[in-house]
Amino acid sequence: MPGTKKIQFKSLNLGNTKKQSYLISEERDFPSIDSPAQRRYLLCSTPRSGSNLLSDALHATGQAGDPLEYLNPNLMAAWLRAHPSFGDTLDLARYFRDLEARRTSPSGIFGIKTHYSQLAGVWAGSQADQLEFLGRFQAVIFVTRRNKVAQAVSFHRANQTQLWTSEDRRFLDAGDPRLSVQPRFDEAAITKTLADVLAQEASWRALFAKAKCKQLEVVYEDVIANRPAQLKRLFDWVGLPPQTTAPEPRIMRQSQDKDPMVSQFLRLIGQEATDAQLKPHQVEIAKTVDALEPSTTT
C-alpha cells in the first residue's frame, strides 16, 4: 500500500461524525482474522449512482465483507479519532491491515467502495499509485447511471442537505439544522455536479483502460428495473455462492414522481421535459431520484 496520508481535520467537512464513528466501530466488524483476505473486490462509483444500493446488498449477505467508502476522508478521520495516538497522520498500510482484519467476512471476502474523487484525493497526481491500488483487487465493479441529469440533481440536493443516506437521520439530534434544509434549484450548482459526475466516470474508464482490467458494469436503472437479476450478476462476479440472496433494500422514498429540478434543468438547456422524454426514467424518478440511499456515503 503506497505511502501515508495526512488528514488535516481543520480543512475537512467532518459531516455526520456520529454516523462515521459507527461505520468504523467494532459494531460492524466480523470476527477478526489473522490471515489476509482470500478475495478482494472494488466497487468503483460516482456520487448518487446507486452504489449504496449495491454495497448494502453485499453487506446484507454476510458473506461479502462490508464495502464502505474507506477512502472517504471522513471515514479515515473517524479511524484516527478511534486511534488518537496516531495524531493526524494516517499510515495507509496499517489502516488497510486493520480494515481487512476486521471487515473480511468468514468467507474470506473483503470489499471497498470508492468514488474516483476519493481515490484521487488519496493519490492525487499519481496514476501509478492508483493503478497499484486497483491491482490489489481480484474483482472490479463499475457502477453507473444512465440519467446523468437526474444523478446531478440528486447530487446537488445531497450537497445542500448533507443527508447522503436514509441512515443519516438516526444519527442526528432532533434540532440539527440539516433536517430542515429545503433544497433550492441552482442551475450553476447542478451544472457543476453534472460536470463532476461526467469527469469522474471518464477518469474511471481511463484508469480501467490503462490497467487493462476487466470489470462488471452495473447500471443503476437496471438494478431498479430488475434487482434480483442484477444482484445475481454482481454476486457471481464477486465470487459468492450461486444460491446467495439479499434482503429487500431499506429505502426511504423521498422523491416526487417527477422531480421538478430535473425538468427545470432540461428546459434550461433547451430540452423540454415532455412525457415522452421523461418516460424512460419515470421508474427511476419515482423511486429514487432524490431518495436518500441506504447504507454508507458519509
pLDDT at 284 over 60: no
Which among 186, 168, 188 has a CA at the least distance from the CA of 178?
168
State residue 83's pLDDT score. Answer: 85
- What confidence tens digit (pLDDT) does each residue in 33-69 have? 888 899 999 999 999 999 999 999 999 999 999 999 9
pLDDT at site 15: 64
Distance CA 291, CA 293 (A): 6
**Residue-level pLDDT at 292:** 30
C-alpha cell at 120: 484521487
- Phi and psi of 47, rounded to 5°? -60, 135
Q: What residue ranges define each of the domains in the chain, with the CATH number in brackets?
A: 4-288 (3.40.50.300)
Distance of alpha carbon 99 from alpha carbon 66, whole angstroms: 10
Q: What is the pLDDT of residues 209-260, one digit of tens each?
A: 999 999 999 999 999 899 999 999 999 999 999 999 887 876 543 444 478 8
**Considering the entire predicted model, what is its pTM?**
0.84
191: how many CB neighbours lie within 10 A of its CB?
15
Does the pLDDT at position 296 exceed 80?
no
> Is 55:43 a contact under the CB 8 Å cutoff?
yes
Q: How confident is the model at residue 5 (pLDDT cuts 50, 70, 90)?
A: low
